[in-house]
Amino acid sequence: MKLACPNCGKPLRRVKTPWGMVYACLACEGRMVGQAVLRRDRAADRFRHALWQRAREAWGNRRYRQPRGRPCPHCRLPMVEVRMPHELGGVALDVCVRCHSTWFDPSEYGAVPHGPRPAVEPAGARASSPRAREAAAILALERVRRQQADHDAAAGPIEGTGDAWKILPAIFRLPVECSVPALSTRPVVTWSLAAACALAFLATMGGLSDAVRGWGFVPNAWARRGGLTLLTGFFLHGGWMHLVGNLYFLLVFGDNVEDRLGKGKYLLLVLAAHLAGSLVHAALDPRGEVPCIGASGGIFGIVAFYAIAFPRARLAFFFFWPGGWLRVPAWGMLLFYTGLQILGAQAQIAGTSNVSSLAHLGGIAVGVIAAVLSRLGPRRVTIRAPR
């Protein structure tokens, strides 16, 4: 079974060091390190003892109820976040008590305080200084990383028969996920929103015009039906292409955002992005009597959050000429789509576009703000006591 990076979803590689095997991500340069490797490598005894004690206390406390942490690459269960005091590095590490392993982001491993080397060094360790051995291990990891990057640049996101479906959206210029962040729960809210939009479309196919006039959001009459049209407009779509495009982005990016935020905060993000998009549309679109429908304001909020929360995630676009895949980081896709919406908003204000790019920009703004706030705040986890 391939181990996946809890940060970006890329496969982890086994890397041999003078102190034992570690599992390293060649994309984000994080690493999963066992307790034995920490002891033999660099960690001071007081650091290891404090880390393990705090992790066990958090794991065993049945009343410890906080949002989920990143999944352990080995057992796939949520890890606990342990915040070390300033005198012990001041880092916040993800620890799996079951697997006796700790996940280090790139800058965290160097912050581990040094301790005296063990009396028995690994075989071959006396041949060079600790600094030289560490430099050699880093160079080896960098060499493997460059080889993997060269391979990824030439390959597309189709890695097996299970990924063959990605060819279809790629033909229509839709982004395809290359490195998928691992999920720890089922995206029930995302699936429910997608099903509700599909059912609403099927239910209104015979009288779509009447449904749009009755339940679409009209800026000049926003208070009709008690303001309920601010919400009902989310589930209405003007045609099959409108619906399928929105559902694709919702299902591809929504599952990871829901997994990161949790169901309640995720639903709040979608609602806030949709409402913000509707209000921006109402404030700036000159055609206040025309109904505005669709879920794209809320979905653009999801896409913006995804791009910032998973900055190392990779997406691919397919081009028939010159032929091949163009791989871009998620934040690059966000910049590209934001630029398109700014151009579209200018056409919308001029009255030459029927697409509400203004609503998209409102959703993007909410997604960016939510993602920045979530990265600034402490990452907390939900812990279940081991049975």
Determine the Cα angle at 29 with ends 26 and 31, to 5°: 100
Give tens-digit pLDDT for 2-17: 788 887 778 888 887 7
Q: Identify the residue with better confidence: 78 or 378.
A: 78
For the chain, residues classed under CATH 1.20.1540.10 are 161-376
Residue 3 burial (CB count, 10 A): 17
Q: Identify the residue with better confidence: 32 or 277.
A: 277
Q: Identify the residue with better confidence: 21 or 124.
A: 21
**Token pair in block for residue 352:** 């030459």
| pTM across the whole model | 0.62
Binned at pLDDT 50, 70 and 90, residue 146 comes out as low
Pick the CATH number of 161-376 from 1.20.1540.10, 3.30.230.10, 3.40.50.1820, 3.40.50.300: 1.20.1540.10
| Backbone CA torsion sign across 174, 180, 181, 185 | positive
**Token pair in block for residue 289:** 């009597």
Give me the pLDDT at residue 5, please: 85
Please answer whether residues 330 and 314 qualify as being in contact, where contact means their C-beta atoms are separated by less than 8 angstroms. yes
Give me the pLDDT at residue 127, please: 44
**Token pair in block for residue 174:** 């839709």
Contacts of 383 (CB under 8 A, 6+ apart): 58, 59, 61, 64, 65, 66, 78, 80
Give me the pLDDT at residue 123, please: 46
3-state secondary structure 173-234: CCCEECCCCCCCCCCHHHHHHHHHHHHHHHHHHHHHHHHHHHHCECHHHCCHHHHCHHHHHH
The size of the chain, in residues, is 387
Give tens-digit pLDDT for 309-361: 987 788 988 887 666 788 889 999 999 999 999 999 999 999 889 999 999 99
Give tens-digit pLDDT for 183-228: 778 999 999 999 999 999 999 998 999 999 999 999 999 888 898 9
The DSSP-derived string for 73-104 is TTT-SBPEEEEPPGGGT--EEEEETTTTEEEE
β-pairing, 176-177 with 314-319? antiparallel
| pLDDT above 70 (res 81) | yes
Please answer whether residues 333 and 270 qualify as being in contact, where contact means their C-beta atoms are separated by less than 8 angstroms. no
| 351 secondary structure, DSSP code | T
Give tens-digit pLDDT for 221-262: 988 889 899 999 999 999 999 999 999 999 999 999 999 999
